[in-house]
Amino acid sequence: MTNQVDPQGPKLAVTPSNPVPEGARPGYFTTSDKVRLRYCLWPKAQGPQRGTVCLVQGRTEYIEKYFETVEDFRRRGFAVATFDWRGQGGSDRLIGNAHVGYVDKFDDYWTDLKCFHADILLPDCPPPYYLVGHSMGGLASLMAATRDRMMFDRVFLSAPMVSLYKMEGTISRWAMFAEAVSFVGLGALPLARKGDRRPDESMFADNPLTSDMLRYVRMVETIRADDGLYIGSPSFRWLAASMRAMVEAGQDRFPAQIQIPLLVLAAARDQIVSTPAIEQLGLRLRTGRHMVIAGARHELFMESDTIRGQVLAAFDAFVTEQSR
């Protein structure tokens, strides 16, 4: 497959509080099933070349949200490659309501990652390759690790979505319900939830994402700069697909299928995904381990400087192990 790049190039939403890191190379590529996805590459900022971090986001997220984290990796000597999953960010929407999260099946995220790896990462980015995934992107990363152990040298996960907060043991039943709704033709309907409202500054006090006000406000300002980046409620089809993937990740045989060095970070105060489920997975990994970051909410890379420092220190130690 050839990389199909729009000659006009995609736009990146930039605000005074969220400048784009220097050297950005945005573009589009087309997946094997003809979905156009937005991506961006950055060279390392300084020091010896240490390889490439492939950064994959959570549900509702977008490239611009990770500008600060991109710069953190670049300063460590890594090139950075990232893209927006289908149905969000600057990538193609799959249903008429552009603000509803939708995917036909969770394997479509594997298609996105596999095509990005083949068409962009391998030809344009220096090895070795480190996969860094957050939340939904963390679950997609785990699935990728069970399917091709040669794609990435190491996998680093932030609060992966292996189960949902306070829903341990009920995911399978919810999956069947969402599948039933989808089966009768209502899969594109949103499951309206209070927490999926368009964010603004007044919502910071009760938000489950981060304890850092400046980083929360930066997210609000970015969406105001480009409302097309906003994704609200998930659709019933997205729920059915994602919950089936969570059920798979919770099966006893799943950890043994992962044969790539893996470090999983969980947030002690997470109210989005299940920290106990992450811990249970971490204890059963054969080629990896887990850590729980005290005091952290769900979005570890958007947290306070103290918490982010722990996350990046864990990444540094994990990557350094490879050269010992």
Collapsed DSSP state (helix, strand, coil) of residue 154? strand
- Identify the CA nearest to 299 among candidates 17, 65, 54, 40: 65
Which residues, 6+ apart, have CB-to-CB distance to 114 below 8 Å? 32, 144, 148, 151
Residue by residue, DSSP assigns 172-211 as HHHHHHHHHHIIIIITTSB---GGGSPP-GGGGGG-SS-S
Query: Could you tell me if residue 43 is inside a domain?
Result: yes
Q: Is residue 47 part of a domain?
A: yes
Residue 210 has a CB neighbour count (10 Å cut-off) of 23
Map tokens 């996350």 to a residue: 311
Query: What is residue 322's predicted lDDT score, i.e. its pLDDT?
Result: 63
Is the Cβ–Cβ distance between 297 and 271 less than 8 Å?
yes
Maximum CA extent, the chain: 56
Specify if 241 maps to a domain.
Answer: yes
Q: What is the CATH number of the domain that holds 182?
A: 3.40.50.1820
Spatial distance between the Cα atoms of 83 and 134, rounded to a whole number of angstroms: 13
pLDDT at site 138? 98
- 11 in a domain, yes or no? no
pLDDT in tens, 195-244: 788 999 999 999 999 999 999 999 999 999 999 999 999 999 999 999 99
| Residue position matching structure tokens 């950055």 | 42
3 state DSSP class of 161: coil
Do you find a cis peptide bond into 7, omega within 30 degrees of 0?
A: no
Domain extent, residue 215, equals: 25-323
Nearest to 72 by CA among 7, 127, 120, 132: 132
**Residue 130 — φ and ψ, nearest 5°?**
-115, 120
Which residue ranges in the chain fall short of pLDDT 70?
A: 1-8, 322-324
Q: How many domains in the chain?
A: 1
Measured from the Cβ of residue 114, the count of other Cβ atoms closer than 10 Å reads: 17
**Model pTM score:** 0.95
The Cα 229–Cα 227 span in angstroms is 5
- Domain assignment present for 19: no
Residue 7, in any domain of the structure: no
- Burial class, 235, CB count within 10 angstroms (exposed 0-12 / middle 13-18 / buried 19+): buried
Q: Looking at residue 102, what is its pLDDT?
A: 98
Residue 80 lies in a domain: yes
Q: Which helix (H) or strand (E) holds 54?
A: strand 52-56
Is residue 217 domain-resident? yes
pLDDT of 4 reads 40
